[in-house]
Amino acid sequence: MSVENSTNDLSTGWFTEVFQNEGTAFSLKVKAKLHEEQSEYQKLEIYETETFGNLMVIDGCVMLTTRDNFLYHEMMTHPALFTHKNPKKVVVIGGGDCGTLKEVLKHPGVEEAWQVEIDERVTRLSEKYFPELCESNEDPRANFFFGDGIKWMADAAPNSIDIIIVDSTDPVGPAEGLFAVDFYRNCMVALREGGIVVQQSESPLLHTDSIIKNVQKDMRDAGFESVRTLPFPQPVYPTGWWSATMAGKNHVLKYFREEDAEQRPFVTRYYNKKVHQAALALPQFMRDILHTE
């Protein structure tokens, strides 16, 4: 099948991510490649796009853009923090771009936040190319550890953490061990009573019957009594539709602090109380596959 006119030619001036297994591709028009390096762990690229601000690419996969990362970062953070009764210590596993950490630190009740990222170069590049995501990095509550998140969690003191946010890449390669019952068991041990773990869990359309179902099962097998998946839009990821799966130690996911969410003392662009409630409403096909509300 030949390209029929030159306006469809993406070979010059575009960054394209091809999802071979999904039979789809997504492209962003780029002005310039700002940076490229092979870190100890992966290939990192930064582009300046025409319409989505800066773009970070890891091993060929779109990680985030300036324009739409707020959707993901807000939904990985605020539903969990407004569900927990009083989160004081929050740990982000992965999340090297610092966007999740920034959202966590918006909560005045948080006393201590950790970002445990394997690749320090991701954070250094984010400081340079996504400075708005790093604006809380000097917050005295912010702590950084660059190393293996799986090992960090295995070594964490029992009953020491209120919320664990697993802000990882896809469940292949380095992140595979973060989508595993052993990891969630270590999270369970490290969490205090009423603690919550959140995992990015890929696309509702593509992965409900595979990754999402498996993440839910692994979390339950690890001893978490309540599990909920929250879909949200994320234009630069496959299908433009993504999800976070939360699991609670004890039955903590039944309610959230609606009044606190409504009165939140900080700015959000996607999240609000009603959006939180809405994210808990699963499409019918997800309910059917996951046998849940």
The least CB distance from residue 100 to a second copy, in Å, is: 18
73 is in an annotated binding site: yes
Which residues form the interface with a second copy (CB under 8 A)? 1-3, 7-18, 20, 22-30, 33, 49-52, 67-68, 204-205, 231, 233-235, 239-241, 268-272, 274-275, 277-285, 287, 293
The least CB distance from residue 116 to a second copy, in Å, is: 29
By beta-carbon proximity to a second copy, the closer residue of 99 and 195 is: 99
CA distance 182 to 289: 24
Total residue count of the chain as it appears in this document: 293
233 is in an annotated binding site: no
By beta-carbon proximity to a second copy, the closer residue of 151 and 287 is: 287
Closest to 236 (Cα-Cα) out of 21, 104, 54: 54
Closest to 25 (Cα-Cα) out of 293, 190, 238, 200: 238
291 is in an annotated binding site: no
148 is in an annotated binding site: yes
Name residue 151's amino acid.
K
CA dihedral 77, 81, 87, 93 (to 10 degrees): -20
Q: Which of 139, 167, 218, 288 is catalytic?
A: 167
Question: What residue ranges in the chain does DSSP mark as E strands?
Answer: 14-19, 24-38, 43-49, 54-58, 61-65, 89-94, 112-117, 142-146, 161-167, 191-200, 226-233, 241-248
The least CB distance from residue 88 to a second copy, in Å, is: 26
**Catalytic annotation present for 119:** no
By beta-carbon proximity to a second copy, the closer residue of 171 and 231 is: 231
By beta-carbon proximity to a second copy, the closer residue of 2 and 263 is: 2
Name the packing angle between helices 181-190 and 213-221 (round to 10°).
50
The least CB distance from residue 259 to a second copy, in Å, is: 16
177 is in an annotated binding site: no
167 is in an annotated binding site: yes
By beta-carbon proximity to a second copy, the closer residue of 30 and 178 is: 30
149 is in an annotated binding site: yes
The least CB distance from residue 277 to a second copy, in Å, is: 6
CA distance 26 to 47: 15
Closest to 198 (Cα-Cα) out of 61, 74, 65, 58: 74
Q: In what order do the strands lie in the sheet with 241-248?
A: 142-146, 112-117, 89-94, 161-167, 191-200, 241-248, 226-233
Rg of the Cα atoms in the chain: 19
Return the active site residues: 167
Question: Would you list which residues are annotated within the binding site?
Answer: 42, 73, 97, 117, 148-149, 167-170, 174
Question: Would you list which residues are annotated within the binding site for S-methyl-5'-thioadenosine?
Answer: 42, 117, 148-149, 174
Question: Would you list which residues are annotated within the binding site for spermidine?
Answer: 73, 97, 167-170
